[in-house]
Structure 1
Amino acid sequence: MVIAKPVQPVLTLVAAGVTYGVAAILLNWSLQPFLESAETIPLPGYFGILAFNVVQGAVLGVIARLVLRRLGRLR
């Protein structure tokens, strides 16, 4: 079910991916003092988390764009 008609679904989902990656990193930082299983992420891991989420958002954005185009809701 499509609730909104995003003008740029790829950009929207890439931004959502970046936001999710940053939230995951901040959650890990906030839980490290309390949980032994919340390990410190090495520096390349931060870039990996953000890069993975950007790529995932881009792929899903392209799929969303194709679906919206197929449904005739996007120019």
Structure 2
Amino acid sequence: MGLFGGSNREYQELCIYLKEQIFGFILEIFNPNKVRFTKVEELACDIKKLLFERMELLQVKLLNELLPA
């Protein structure tokens, strides 16, 4: 059974995309070129920014999957 009436293949592709986004986020938060490890406040700010960027990508993907044109 797929997600909201979709096929199993669509559901699998969505799960793979989610997994890739989570792994990408984890890699980014430990990347010294993307996150400042100098102060706790800067670290938190950078991680929050990266999280919101990933969440935006997921929202777009989910909206396109659930509400196709």
**TM-score normalised according to structure 2 size:** 0.51
Pairwise CA distance, 1:16: 4.1
Larger radius of gyration between Structure 1 and Structure 2: 1
The amino acid of 2:21's aligned partner reads G
CA distance in structure 1 between the partners assigned to 2:58 and 2:49 by the alignment = 14
- Where 1:51 maps in the other structure, the secondary structure is helix
Deviation string, structure 1 residues 19-65 (Cα, Å, up to 9, x no partner): 32112223x14xxxxxxxx3652220111101210121112111122
Show the counterpart of 1:45: 46
Show the counterpart of 1:5: 10
Show the counterpart of 1:24: 28
Alignment check: 8 A CA contact 1:17 1:50 kept: no
Task: Provide the aligned length of Structure 1 versus Structure 2.
Answer: 55
> Comparing both chains, which one has the higher relative contact order based on Cα–Cα distances under 8 Å and sequence gaps of 6 or more?
1
Q: 1:16 to 1:61 in 2, by over 3 A?
A: farther
Between Structure 1 and Structure 2, the one with more helix by share is: 2
What is the percentage of aligned positions where both structures have the same residue? 11
